[in-house]
Amino acid sequence: MDQRKCECGHTNPVGTLLCESCGKPLDIELVEQKEFPDMRYEGMARRSQTYTTRIVDRVWNTFSSVKIAIWIIVVILVASGLGTIFPQQQFIPVPVPTELDVERFYTDTYGVLGTIYYQLGMHNMYSSWWFVTLLVMLGTSLIICSLDRVIPLYKALNKPRLNQHKSFLKGQKLYAEAPKPADRSEQELLEQTAQALKKKGYYLFQTDRALLAEKGRFSRWGPYINHIGLILFLIGVLMRSLPGFHLDEYVWVREGETVPIPETPYYVKNVAYKTEYYTEEEMPQKLDLNGGAIAKSYQTDAILYLNRNADIPGAKPDLVEVKSGPIIVNHPMKHESIYLYQSGFQEMQLGALNFTLLDVKNGNKEIGPIKLDLYNPERDIQVAEGYKVRVLDYFPDFAMGKDGKPITQTNLPKNPMFAMEIVSERDAINEKVVYLEGSILTQKNDAQFGLKISMPDLIDITGLNVRTDKALPLVWVGSFIFMIGVVMGFFWQHRRIWIQFQDGNILIAGHTNKNWFGLRKEVEGMVQQTNLSVTLEDKSKV
């Protein structure tokens, strides 16, 4: 039906630029050919140009167009740029609990432009439906463009073009034609040129009148291999939104505390945290640090537990240790697909207050120590035989409320206030004391008991970043394949040299996909070695 016949007798599919059999440029075509066609796809018919009737074919052809692919890339680039003008919602530096706060943030910070930015949804651009659609369109275009080109190209290259039409050879950028030297036969000449080219690493295809020398064909597959890499990369990124494939959480853990890791059945315990600093001897030169220090390492000694009772959130955990050891920056703790990274710390935080109970009226006799845990204070503390302290009130972050009553501003012990009752069963005395901002207030002026403030327990809080990224290996493999493709395409060239005899003349033609200088050198070397007197035309210089 829609096939065309070349003068050599071969019928070519619609869209063919160079006859599949003899390589002669075909004139009457979809496009009028004024010059010798581009050799990029060996003059093969790209299948997208063939059928345009069905919807499926039309969609296919749209995505097969490199022009459209470039537009998709340009739109993605421009959009990605626009998304960086103002911060994305997740990077807003102040808390924005409701959508209203988000809107207000953009308006208050960036004015009218900020409002427009928010209204257009640019504050959540990279996960917006249209941006995601663009990415999938890019992937589609990548797959279809590649398929539509690699298959015809493979077919063309797999069948070496040996007995090409003169116009094919003449159409090449590197071409020479001269009378056949009379001192040698055609066979001898072919043999000599073949030897010369073989030394240069060429594969040879020969008939008794023609020679094709070829090397580096695999570099033509480079672009397609790097497209496979990109597609795997995109699939890897897409897989992140599958449940369980991606986790990025942050937990703060006090020394001695065991906390659940959100979205997982695991708990982590901070056994100890420490920051190590370089000593002066370790420094290569004297530095003026103004009393500061340079950190050497940040380390949490941690234990990872699996909760066997994770079915009901909040229920009393049944923990089994699965892993323990240090977590150091760049050396995460790994268990199955979970990684725990050292990524923050708060040192010297109040953990517990320490007091000594004194019998003031007995010459400040020490009765015993009192420890008040700021995160989980006990109600009754037995200080010594017959002496008890009872906590009445605890405000972790004390302030005076508007109604004059004490309140706490947060649930963190930033400014702890304790009201206590000291009970002496032996003396039948009951006295109230208050601890606030480093001082002790007693109820009575001539109190029997007093509290001596000792050094409080200071603890370190470690910030651990918990990550899972099961799609990461695929992203790596994709990137690696991409790199292989780039290297193949960049550092090798597909070179071909044709030698033929026609009408008593020797014809030499050369083609390469890049580095014409290199090809020219090799052809010149061959001409010299075989003592041919031909002059090479090089149309690439024009």
Partner 1 sequence: MNKKNRIYVRVAILGLLLVALVFALYSSFVKDPNAVKVGSTAPNFSLEQLHGSDLALDDLKGKGVVLNFWGTWCEPCKAEMPALQKKYETYKDKGLVVVGVNIGESPITIEPFINQFGIDFPILLDRKSQITKLYRIGPIPTTFFISPEGKVEEIFIGQLNEAMIASKVEKILP
535 binding partner 1? (CB under 8 A)? no
Task: Return the closest-CA partner of residue 200 out of 211, 217, 214.
Answer: 214
408 binding partner 1? (CB under 8 A)? yes
- Number of shown-chain residues binding partner 1 (CB under 8 A): 51
Among 9, 27, 34, 56, binds partner 1 (CB under 8 A): 56
Least CB distance to partner 1 at residue 290 (A) = 38
| Burial status of residue 498 (CB atoms within 10 A of its CB: 0-12, 13-18, 19 or more) | buried
Find the Cα–Cα–Cα–Cα dihedral 162, 165, 166, 170, rounded to 10°. Answer: -80
Least CB distance to partner 1 at residue 531 (A) = 49
Q: Which is nearer to partner 1, 11 or 362 (CB)?
A: 11
| Residue reference for tokens 């409320």 | 401
How far lies 129's CA from each of 75, 85, 273, in Å? Answer: 15, 20, 43
Among 147, 162, 429, 536, binds partner 1 (CB under 8 A): 147
| Residue reference for tokens 């749209």 | 62
139 binding partner 1? (CB under 8 A)? yes
Cα angle 36, 40, 42; round to 5: 70
Site string for partner 1, 357-376 (x = CB under 8 A): ------------------xx
Q: CA 372 to CA 391: how far, in whole Å?
A: 9
Subset of residues 314 to 343 that bind partner 1, contact rule: CB under 8 A: 314-316
Helix (H) or strand (E) holding 500: strand 495-502
Q: CA 317 to CA 338: how far, in whole Å?
A: 19
310 binding partner 1? (CB under 8 A)? no
Among 9, 93, 243, 291, binds partner 1 (CB under 8 A): 243
Least CB distance to partner 1 at residue 299 (A) = 24
- Per-residue exposure over 422-461, b if at least 16 CB sit within 10 Å of its own CB, e if not: bbbeeeeeebebbbeeeebebeeeebbbbbeeeebbebbb
136 binding partner 1? (CB under 8 A)? yes
Q: Which is nearer to partner 1, 47 or 520 (CB)?
A: 47
Task: Return the closest-CA partner of residue 65 out of 144, 153, 152, 155.
Answer: 144
28 binding partner 1? (CB under 8 A)? no
| Residue reference for tokens 């050094």 | 455
Among 279, 285, 411, 445, binds partner 1 (CB under 8 A): 411
Q: CA 106 to CA 87: how far, in whole Å?
A: 9
User: In the Cβ-directed half-sphere of 516, how many Cα atoms lie within 13 Å?
Assistant: 14
Q: CA 445 to CA 392: how far, in whole Å?
A: 20
Subset of residues 174 to 233 that bind partner 1, contact rule: CB under 8 A: none
Give the 3-state secondary structure of residue 196. Answer: helix
Specify the stretch interacting with partner 1 by CB under 8 A; choose among 38-46, 54-62, 106-114, 191-199: 54-62
Specify the stretch interacting with partner 1 by CB under 8 A; choose among 52-60, 357-365, 488-496, 526-534: 52-60
Least CB distance to partner 1 at residue 259 (A) = 6
| Residue reference for tokens 């298959």 | 151
152 binding partner 1? (CB under 8 A)? no
Among 160, 262, 473, 518, binds partner 1 (CB under 8 A): 262
Give the 3-state secondary structure of residue 208. Answer: coil
238 binding partner 1? (CB under 8 A)? yes
Please provide the DSSP assignment of 141-163 as one string: HHHHHHHHHHHHHHHHHHS---S
Site string for partner 1, 375-394 (x = CB under 8 A): xxx-x-----------xxxx
| Tokens, residue 443 | 């109820």
Least CB distance to partner 1 at residue 407 (A) = 7
93 binding partner 1? (CB under 8 A)? no
Least CB distance to partner 1 at residue 87 (A) = 18
Specify the stretch interacting with partner 1 by CB under 8 A; choose among 7-15, 171-179, 234-242, 486-494: 234-242
Interacting residue ranges for partner 1, rule: CB under 8 A: 47, 51, 54, 56-57, 59-60, 97-98, 127-129, 131-133, 135-136, 139-140, 143-144, 147, 235, 238, 241, 243, 259-260, 262-263, 312-316, 375-377, 379, 391-397, 407-411
